[in-house]
Amino acid sequence: MIVVEALILASLLAVLVRLAVGPTPWDRLLAANSAATRILLLMALLAILQDRTLYLDIAIVYAAISFLGIIIVARVMERSGGIR
Amino acid sequence: MIAWIFIGLGCAFLVVGTIGIVRFRDVYSRLQASGVSDNVGSTFLLLGLVLLDGLTARDAAILFLIALLVVTNPIATHSIAKSAFTNRHEEDGS
């Protein structure tokens, strides 16, 4: 289980590199989306590992709020042509 | 045993998607790598977490999380792709 968590943490760091160097704003947005998914999986793994069900509820709320943020930022960038 | 097969499959999909996000050269290629592999990998990983021990109370929360991800992740990917496709003329290089 520790190996799985380390693998997802390394994947999160690689996605954050793409979020830092992405050439276009849409690259940064999709990297933020992928990073949110990986953080959510880390929360679920930690909930199973430490046997705390509360983290799963936090993961559900985090999924809903990150989805809302991604949709709003994508709509604003579609209207305004990207924030450079 | 089958839970670990599911978890390993989910980890493999996530790592392949990460390689695609880092190494591809186009926005749409990166979107394809991100959208497909994130959805399948997270679904497999959470299904493995459901199957890891017997039927407990937290399995309902994980199943609800899987349903939420399966509904919302393609919508977010489609929204980013539509936003990038609408503004493709102002894009420079890459």
The residues, any chain, with a CB within 8 Å of residue B22's CB and separated by 6 or more, are: A14, A15, A17, A18
Are B58 and A8 within 8 A, CB to CB?
A: no
Report yes or no: B48 and A43 within 8 Å, Cβ to Cβ. Answer: no
Q: Give DSSP secondary structure letters for A45-61.
A: HHHHHHT-THHHHHHHH
Report yes or no: B36 and B17 within 8 Å, Cβ to Cβ. Answer: yes
Q: pTM value?
A: 0.89
The chain A residue lying nearest B93, using CA atoms, is A23
Tracing tokens 């839970």 back to the chain, one arrives at B3
Which sequence spans correspond to the domains of chain B? 2-85
Are B76 and A45 within 8 A, CB to CB?
A: no
pLDDT band at A67 (very low <50, low <70, confident <90, very high): very high
CA distance A82 to chain B (A): 8
Does any CB of chain A come closer than 8 Å to the CB of residue B58? yes
Determine how many CB atoms are found less than 10 A away from the CB of residue B3. Answer: 14
Q: What is the tally of structural domains in chain A? A: 1
Q: What tens digit of pLDDT does each residue of B32-57 get?
A: 999 899 999 999 999 999 998 878 88
- Residue B76 has which token pair? 């977010």
* Nearest one of A64, A68, A77, A61 to A28, comparing CA atoms: A77
pLDDT band at B16 (very low <50, low <70, confident <90, very high): very high
As a whole number of angstroms, the distance between CA B74 and CA B76 comes to: 5
ipTM of model: 0.87
